[in-house]
Structure 1
Amino acid sequence: MKVTLNRVNDNFHFELKNERGHIVNVDSRPEFGGDDKGASPMELVLMSVAACSAIDMISILKKQRQEITSFKAEVEGERVQVEEAKPFKNIHIVFYLEGDIKEDKAAKAAQLSFEKYCSVSKTLEPTATIHYKVVLNGKQLEN
């Protein structure tokens, strides 16, 4: 796996490209000297956790022949000062699923994602605690 980074302007706007040619814009907020032309690197970390676990969960539920009509997630990260850096200490994710899905299968899909399959959350595990909730058809499920 390889990505390349190309600086777009004189500040902090970058285009990152993967080997298949997909481009992601990254920038810093104006208060940090950027032009806000893309997501920040730390926002991309949160996006990556959500996307990775969503892929896992949808894959698991499809294999179990569960009918998903809507899948959304909200992710919030709490950061802590460690010397000059501010890594994530806690990450909170809420998944909102709708469809003809059994509660136990939705809960198990999330559990399997975080405990076994999601490479992004496994990468963050040594430094951040990931908390998740599943809301199925408007009802919050027990973890």
Structure 2
Amino acid sequence: MKIQLKRINNDYHFELKNERGHITYIDSKAMVGGHDLAPSPMEYVLMGVAGCSAIDVISILKKQKQKIKDYRAEVDGTRVEIDGAKPFKEIDVTVYLEGDIAPEKAKRAAQLSFKKYCSVSKTLEPTAEIKYKVVVNNIEI
């Protein structure tokens, strides 16, 4: 896996491209000298958690013939300063599912994602506690 980064302006706005040619952008917040033209690198980390777990959960539920009408997630990261850096200390994920889905299957799919399959979560696990909850058809399970 390889990513290329190219500086766009004289500050902190960058273009990133993967090996398949997909392009995205990164910038820093204005308060630290950027122009807030794109998500920050740490926001992309949280997006990675959301996306990785979504792919896992949906894949698991599809294999179990569950009918997913809608999938959303909210991810909230708490950071702590350590020697000038601010890594995530805790990440809270809420998965919202709608459809003809057995609640126990949804809960098990999320558990498998966060504890076993999600490479992003597993990468962060040594330094950040990742907690999750699942809401199916507006009922937390």
TM-score for both structures, normalised by structure 2? 0.99
Report the Cα offset of residue 114 of structure 1.
0.8
What fraction of aligned residue pairs are identical, expressed as a percent? 63
Partner SS for 2:83: coil
Matched residue, 2:52: 52
Matched residue, 1:40: 40
CA distance in 2, matches of 1:112, 1:7: 38
Q: Flag as ranges the 4+ runs of structure 1 deviating above 2 A.
A: none
Report the Cα offset of residue 115 of structure 1.
1.0
Partner SS for 1:38: coil
Between the two proteins, the alignment pairs up a number of residues equal to: 141
Matched residue, 1:12: 12
Report the Cα offset of residue 37 of structure 1.
1.1
CA distance in 2, matches of 1:63, 1:21: 30
CA distance in 2, matches of 1:109, 1:21: 31
CA distance in 2, matches of 1:32, 1:78: 19
Report the Cα offset of residue 79 of structure 1.
0.3
Which one-letter code corresponds to 1:51 in the other structure? G
1:88-112 deviation per Cα after TM superposition (whole angstroms, max 9, x unaligned): 0000000100000001100000000
1:101 to 2:91 alignment: no
Partner SS for 1:93: strand
The gaps in structure 1 that reach 5 residues or longer are none
Which one-letter code corresponds to 1:134 in the other structure? V
Question: What pairs with 1:105-124 in structure 2 (closer than 5 Å)?
Answer: 105-124=105-124
CA distance in 2, matches of 1:134, 1:15: 34
